[in-house]
């Protein structure tokens, strides 16, 4: 499914993953704004060997503006393009963010989605964990409540109103 990229010596050692994704791989779903790990908009999900447990891998979200391309050797990188689109169908997180009206201009949305996608790779979260985990993702439009409600609807302790709304969205 994924595409393998080989980097040659023409790419300078200070190149960030976000720039490679956008400019070389032409995967522009990953946005970039602050370039200092302050807004979360460039978030992607990586899977890399777990250095503490031989033969095992770790999956989690990272700000691609702070990830040096050459550090990614042997890693698997998922950007928002891998989750879903209007041709292949949307991931349930994407459907929920839309269904809860958690996106307006949409610029922060890929980063929000990828951050939450990375979080749930390591097991379900509680509502409080969802709220705390999103403190590195900024949105200038929505006021955060609909974004939090969308993602809290997946929490193990989600309240029934959120669960019902998620069920309705998934049926559409
Ligand atoms: S561009 Fe803002 S965190 Fe990467
Ligand atoms: S929807 Fe516009 S920045 Fe979040």
Question: What is the pLDDT averaged over residues 134-160?
Answer: 96
The β-bridge relationship of strands 76-78 and 57-63 is unpaired
Q: How far apart are the first and last CA of the chain?
A: 27
- 34 CA distance to ligand 1 middle (Å): 5
What topology does CATH give the domain 17-82?
Ubiquitin-like (UB roll) (3.10.20)
Query: Where do you find CATH 1.10.150.120 in the chain?
Result: 92-171
User: What length does the chain have?
Assistant: 172
**pLDDT band at residue 1, thresholds of 50, 70 and 90?**
low
Handedness of CA 76, 66, 16, 144 (dihedral sign): positive
- Position 9 scores a pLDDT of 82
Question: What is the pLDDT averaged over residues 53-82?
Answer: 96
Mutational pocket test of ligand 1: of 29, 31, 37, the residue with most ligand atoms within 8 Å of the beta carbon? 37
Question: What is the pLDDT averaged over residues 41-61?
Answer: 96
Q: Is 143 near ligand 2, meaning CB less than 6 Å away? A: no
- 44 CA distance to ligand 1 middle (Å): 11
**pLDDT band at residue 99, thresholds of 50, 70 and 90?**
very high
Q: Which atom number of ligand 2 is nearest to the Cα of residue 140? A: 3
Task: At 63, give phi and psi (nearest 5°).
Answer: -80, 115
Mean pLDDT of the chain: 95
- Position 145 scores a pLDDT of 96
- Best CATH choice for the domain 92-171 from the list 3.40.50.300, 1.10.10.10, 1.10.150.120, 3.40.50.970: 1.10.150.120
17 pLDDT more than 90: yes
- Position 2 scores a pLDDT of 86
- 32 CA distance to ligand 1 middle (Å): 6
**pLDDT band at residue 130, thresholds of 50, 70 and 90?**
very high
Mutational pocket test of ligand 1: of 31, 36, 135, 138, the residue with most ligand atoms within 8 Å of the beta carbon? 36
- Position 161 scores a pLDDT of 96
Q: Is 139 near ligand 2, meaning CB less than 6 Å away? A: yes
Separation of alpha carbons 62 and 49, rounded Å: 15
- Position 172 scores a pLDDT of 82
- Position 125 scores a pLDDT of 96
User: pLDDT digit string (tens) for 23-50?
Assistant: 999 999 999 999 999 999 999 999 999 9
Query: Where do you find CATH 3.10.20.30 in the chain?
Result: 17-82
- 2 CA distance to ligand 2 middle (Å): 28
């Amino acid at each position: 499914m994924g595409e393998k990229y080989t980097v040659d010596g023409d790419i300078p050692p200070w190149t960030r993953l976000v720039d490679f994704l956008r400019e070389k791989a032409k995967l522009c779903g990953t946005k970039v704004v602050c370039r200092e790990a302050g807004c979360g908009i460039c978030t992607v999900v990586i899977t890399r060997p777990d250095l503490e447990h031989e033969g095992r891998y770790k999956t989690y979200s990272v700000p691609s503006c702070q990830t040096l391309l050459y550090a990614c050797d042997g890693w698997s990188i998922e950007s928002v393009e891998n989750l879903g689109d209007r041709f292949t169908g949307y991931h349930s997180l994407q459907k929920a963010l839309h269904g809860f009206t958690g996106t307006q201009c949409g610029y922060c949305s890929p980063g929000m989605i990828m951050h939450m996608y990375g979080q749930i790779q390591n097991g379900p979260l509680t509502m409080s964990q969802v709220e705390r985990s999103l403190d590195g993702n900024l949105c200038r439009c929505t006021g955060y409540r609909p974004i939090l409600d969308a993602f809290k609807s997946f929490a193990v302790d989600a309240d029934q109103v959120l669960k019902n709304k998620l069920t309705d969205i998934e049926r559409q």
